[in-house]
Chains A and B, each alone.
Chain A
Amino acid sequence: DAGITQSPRHKVTETGTPVTLRCHQTENHRYMYWYRQDPGHGLRLIHYSYGVKDTDKGEVSDGYSVSRSKTEDFLLTLESATSSQTSVYFCAISDTTGRNTIYFGEGSWLTVV
């Protein structure tokens, strides 16, 4: 299994509060991604990173920001959480060498009440 750790795994927070989810990898892969999963939508890309301090928006980036100050860490921040951001969040990593395999973390369950 790829070394990907997401934290926290479960969180309940109140509307309007800031929340940060962390993705940590031990594979030294260049690319990191944050997805959210909602019923009927599969997984949708929020933001991605193609190197330290290099990030870009995905399909559903509104209300989210990211940072990557080290190769191994990719942070997803909800500046002011809303109920529509209640979801399961997945981190993924990949490297374009070899078989271009994509590995997923175990997911972070976020509930905004």
Chain B
Amino acid sequence: AQTVTQSQPEMSVQEAETVTLSCTYDTSESDYYLFWYKQPPSRQMILVIRQEAYKQQNATENRFSVNFQKAAKSFSLKISDSQLGDAAMYFCAYTHMNNNAGNMLTFGGGTRLMVKP
């Protein structure tokens, strides 16, 4: 079974600074997708960024980027120029395609990010 581990229950960053959230996963599959989701206090699940395992290039979405290390099974999220609105729970998630379950996701336990003004 696949597992996703987020080893940092809480992180804090100063506004305008950069922070990196860690995620490791375990899988025997070679073709899969990885995601970072943001969950603000409203509990809405917001997709931040996604990475296809077959792509060597790290995904980037504006201030958010990932460091995908396939051999190490590591998938960290870097937030640059942190803003107060970035404060939230962040979840790393994994899915393996090509089965009856479609995009069934396995989630890590989450990292609470606090942004200090």
Report A's interface with B, CB cutoff 8 A. 30-31, 33, 35, 37, 40-45, 48, 50, 54, 56, 58, 88, 90, 92, 94-96, 99-102, 104, 106-107
Select A45's contact among B35, B45, B97, B104, beta carbons within 8 Å.
B104
A58 touches B103 (CB 8 A): no
Q: How far is the CB of A86 from chain B (nearest CB, A)?
A: 15
Chain B residues in contact with chain A, CB under 8 A? Answer: 4, 33, 35, 42-45, 47, 50, 91, 93, 95, 97, 100-110
User: How far apart are the CA atoms of A102 and B34 in the complex, in Å?
Assistant: 12
| Interfacial chain A residues near B45, Cβ < 8 Å | 43, 90, 92, 104
Q: Are B107 and A42 in contact (CB under 8 A)?
A: yes
A50 and B102 in contact, given A42-B107, A42-B108 (Cβ under 8 angstroms): yes
Given contact pairs A42-B91, A106-B44, A48 touches B101 in the complex (Cβ within 8 A):
yes
Given A104-B45, A106-B44, A107-B43, verify A42-B100 contact (CB < 8 Å).
Answer: no
Pick the contact of A43 from B42, B91, B97, B101 — CB < 8 Å?
Answer: B91
Known: A43-B93, A56-B100, A56-B101. 12 other contacts (CB 8 A): A33-B104, A33-B105, A42-B93, A42-B107, A42-B108, A43-B105, A48-B101, A48-B102, A48-B104, A92-B105, A100-B103, A104-B45
Is B109 a contact partner of A41 (Cβ separation < 8 A)?
yes
Main secondary structure of the interface of B (DSSP, over half): loop
Nearest A residue to B99, CB-CB: A50
Q: When chains A and B are docked, how far (Å) is the Cα of A45 from the Cα of B101?
A: 11
* Contact indicator A88/B102 (Cβ below 8 Å): no
- Residues of A with C-beta under 8 A to B102: 30-31, 48, 50, 94-96
Q: A88-B43, A107-B43 are in contact. Are A42 and B104 (CB under 8 A)?
A: no
